[in-house]
Amino acid sequence: MHIWQAIILGIVEGLTEFLPVSSTGHLTIVEKLLGLQVDEPGVTAYTAIIQVGAIAAAIIYFRRDIVRFVMGFVRGVTSAEARQSQDWRMALNVIVGSLPIAVVGLVAKPLIEGPLRSLWVVANMLIAWCLVMVFAEYRATQKRAEGDVTLKDALIIGAAQSIALIPGVSRSGATISAGLLLGIDRVTATRLSFFLGIPALSAAGALEAVSQADQVAATVGWTATGVGIVVSFIVGYASIAWLLKFVANHSLVSFVWYRVLAGLAIIGLLAAGAISAT
């Protein structure tokens, strides 16, 4: 992979990781347009690994919250009083909410990295998941804040996150929609989406880096991978700040039109034979 290609993919990852438009879907599309084989193991691994840059941006952006949760969890292990704190509850919510994607990701790994990497899947899911996003906004009451999130809520939102392993769904689109359907306010649902993404995507990137190290070295190159991670970190940090401000006053429906147009454009290109699905 050329450095300029890595820069482009890093920008795409940073811009789309936290927006409800599917970062994996967009990376798959752009990788195809750049002439890469999207279902090749090295390219698939690269797609997961450069997400670490965006996740590092989230860790730094929310570092104060993360430190509070970690300290709350440590104190709660030995103190019954500490287990009554909001920090303890949020730490448990993140742990429990991360379990579904860990299980599904490992069990369905061959499917996720194989047949589901088709641009037909990406295009159709970009459009289909819009129905869920619109329905979630329609049914949203937003009466529940961060202190009202329960372990059951975290498990349901975590299950929704695992659905986003299908390219085109969008991890943030799935988790925020689930939160809204549970009556959680949009900003809290968005913050929880960030927190759940940190362990899930960090683990996925680390697993691919270790298990596909030889493939990445042979087909993509670690220099290009490093560039992609750095660029996704820089762009991702800016996109986090923007999204949190945006969702405070706008609904997810704002992204629906883009998703539909993008999905239809891909379908048109595939149908015309301008690009292939894999």
The whole-angstrom separation of Cα 100 and Cα 108 is 12
User: Tell me, what's the pLDDT at 83?
Assistant: 87
User: Tell me, what's the pLDDT at 254?
Assistant: 85
Higher pLDDT, 129 or 32: 129
Q: 189 lies in a domain? A: yes
Q: 277 lies in a domain? A: no
User: Tell me, what's the pLDDT at 256?
Assistant: 92
pLDDT tier, 181 (very low <50, low <70, confident <90, very high otherwise): very high
For the segment 79-102, the average pLDDT, to the nearest whole number, is 90
| pLDDT above 90 (res 182) | yes
Q: 153 lies in a domain? A: yes
Q: 162 lies in a domain? A: yes
pLDDT tier, 110 (very low <50, low <70, confident <90, very high otherwise): confident
| pLDDT above 90 (res 174) | yes
Q: 119 lies in a domain? A: yes
Model pLDDT for residues 14-51, shown as the tens digit of each residue: 988 888 888 888 888 898 888 888 778 888 888 888 88
Range of the domain at 152: 3-271
Model pLDDT for residues 196-211, shown as the tens digit of each residue: 988 888 887 887 777 7
CA angle 219, 225, 228 (to 5 degrees): 130
Q: 205 lies in a domain? A: yes
User: Tell me, what's the pLDDT at 81?
Assistant: 87
Three-state helix/strand/coil letters over the chain: CCHHHHHHHHHHHHHHCCCCCCHHHHHHHHHHHCCCCCCCHHHHHHHHHCHHHHHHHHHHHCHHHHHHHHHHHHHHHHCCCHHHCHHHHHHHHHHHHHHHHHHHHHHCHHHHHCHHHCHHHHHHHHHHHHHHHHHHHHHCCCCECHHHCCHHHHHHHHHHHHHCCCCCCCHHHHHHHHHHHCCECHHHHHHHHHHHHHHHHHHHHHHHHHHCHHHHHHHCCHHHHHHHHHHHHHHHHHHHHHHHHHHCCCCCHHHHHHHHHHHHHHHHHHHCCCCCCC
Q: 278 lies in a domain? A: no
How many domains is the chain partitioned into structurally? 1
Q: 55 lies in a domain? A: yes
Q: In 10 A of CB 85, how many CB atoms?
A: 17
